[in-house]
Amino acid sequence: MNTNLNSLSGKPVVRLEHVGLRFGDFEALQDINIEIFQGQTLALLGHNGAGKSSLIKLILGLLKPTTGKLVVNNKPNQSSVNLGYLPEDVSFYDKLTGLEVLRYFAALKGINSTRVKLLIEEFELGYAQHKPLKTYSKGMKQRLGVAQAILSQPDILLLDEPTVGLDPQASQFLYQKIDSLKQQGCAVIVCTHELSMVEKHLDSALLLAQGRRVGSGTLDELRQVSGLKSQIKLADFTSIVQRDSFLASFSQGQKLLVDSDERSAVVEYLVQQKQCSDFSVIEPSLESIYHHCMLQQPDRTESNAVATTQKSWRQSLQQLLRPTVSQSPL
Ligand SMILES: Nc1ncnc2c1ncn2[C@@H]1O[C@H](COP(=O)(O)OP(=O)(O)OP(=O)(O)O)[C@@H](O)[C@H]1O
């Protein structure tokens, strides 16, 4: 199945058709079909070992697909594409200063010093630019890492866990930068486990489990496909539901639970009923969609001798979620 990640405008800059990747006997990725668009952010999600970093390395050209076809920016190979990359564990030589690091990468890429100065300012590193990296905090190093990744003003930016270990403000800062790059037409691919943070910034998501696609699309598309219900909270729930049989038919606990295709009709009804105007709608979060998609997967680990850890991952997730999922789909 071809997963056109969304129907938003923009040019596809990355296309994978039936892409598979093997390491010896181990299938790290299987039958991945995606298109990634200019000016959009794709969140790449999945458990540890799902294949996210491998997919990023395929797009970068650091790995070659074992099967299928991968086209990046309509070019025959990635060496002629302007790509930016922040690896998972970014580490620079820590005796160099921030400025020296950026100058070094700029020289490698033939970029002038004006761009370096601009990025130092933009990433708020001016006060520390002459200090060695061993004195930098995690947040400063990540800001420097992202500045390095966008030195060449890439068409495609790949960020492998850019906000891991960062405080909420530092993460927010990086996501604001990512948003502004995307507005300039860059296609951004972010691999992360921080679902609530990325949820506010993504245009689409690809969910992987054990190397397979288990969900993809915009948040709305993922909500629709998951079948998870939205919650509607009413200020005066009990008295309203007691006198309204239509609303009562959706009630569960102290809230209304509605399918995505019922939501707008129920909201419209509430707006028309003047006594029920004080309400809020809570849609299924990316995190709940993620857990739902993961739990829908058949356990294929018996057939894959290398995947013992993935099996234990699945068991712990089931244990963790079983009570919540059985009480409420939200
Ligand atoms: N060079 C390699 N040789 C053999 N197996 C590999 C290699 N690189 C990755 N793998 C395996 O491929 C699978 C996918 O790894 P990958 O690093 O892509 O996962 P990931 O989703 O990025 O995980 P994490 O969230 O932990 O970073 C894992 O089982 C991993 O052990």
- The pairs formed by 117-123 with CB atoms below 8 angstroms and a separation of 24 or more are 119/147, 119/150, 119/151, 120/147, 122/147, 122/177, 123/147, 123/177
Residues of the chain with pLDDT under 50: 1-8, 301-311, 313, 316-317, 319-330
- Mutate-to-test residue for ligand 1 from 25, 27, 30, 52, highest number of ligand atoms within 8 A of CB: 52
Query: Which pLDDT value is given to residue 12?
Result: 87
Atom 8 in ligand 1: residue holding the nearest Cα: 54
Determine whether the shortest distance from the Cβ of 54 to ligand 1 is under 6 A: yes
Residue with the smallest CA separation from ligand 1 atom 1 is 23
The amino acid at 227: G
In a 13 Å sphere around the CA of 78, the CA atoms on its Cβ side amount to 20
Atom of ligand 1 lying closest to residue 26 CA = 5
Question: How big is the CA angle at 86 (ends 187 and 142), to the nearest 5 degrees?
Answer: 115
Q: Residue 76 has what pLDDT? A: 67
Q: How far is CA 109 from the centre of its chain?
A: 28
CB of 29 shorter than 6 A to ligand 1: no
In the chain, where are the structural domains located? 12-222, 229-282, 292-327
Strands of 26-37's sheet, edge to edge? 26-37, 12-23, 67-72
Cα–Cα dist 236/268, whole Å: 17
Q: Which fold has domain 12-222?
A: Rossmann fold (3.40.50)
3-state secondary structure of 187: strand
pLDDT in the model for residue 306: 41
| The pLDDT of residue 7 | 44
Identify the burial level of 89 via C-beta atoms within 10 angstroms of its C-beta, where 0-12 means exposed, 13-18 middle and 19 or more buried.
Answer: exposed
For ligand 1, mutation pick of 19, 23, 66 (most atoms within 8 Å of CB): 23
**Does the model's ipTM exceed the 0.95 cut?**
yes
- pLDDT at position 180 is 93
Gap from CA of 174 to ligand 1 centroid (Å): 25
Q: Is 23 in the pocket of ligand 1 (CB under 6 A)?
A: yes
Instruction: State the distance from the centre of ligand 1 to the C-alpha of 195, rounded, in angstroms.
Output: 20
pLDDT of residue 314: 52
Cβ(39) – ligand 1 distance below 6 Å: no
pTM across the whole model: 0.84
H-type alpha helices, the chain: 52-60, 98-109, 113-122, 138-149, 168-183, 195-199, 219-226, 237-243, 245-248, 260-272, 286-295, 308-327
Cα 229–chain centre separation = 22
Helix 138-149 × helix 113-122 angle, to 10°? 140
Is the minimum distance from the CB of 9 to ligand 1 under 6 angstroms? no
Q: Return the pLDDT at 329.
A: 32
